[in-house]
Amino acid sequence: MRYSAIALAFLLVGCGTGTSSLPTITPAAPSVTGSPLPDLQPRLDAIGVLLVDCAARLRGEPVAPADNCTHVMPDVTGVIGEVEKQSAKLPPAGRAALAEVRRQLAEIGSCEPWFAAGGASADAQLDAKCKKAWDALFSGYSAVRNSA
Query: Could you say which architecture CATH assigns to the domain 2-14+39-147?
Result: Up-down Bundle (1.20)
**The pLDDT value given to residue 34:** 76
Q: State pLDDT tens for residues 74-107.
A: 999 999 999 999 999 999 999 999 999 999 999 8
| pTM score over 0.85 | no
- Of 89, 96, 99, the C-alpha closest to 148 is 89
Determine the Cα–Cα distance for residues 23 and 17; give it in Å rounded to an integer.
Answer: 12
Boundaries of every domain in the chain: 2-14+39-147
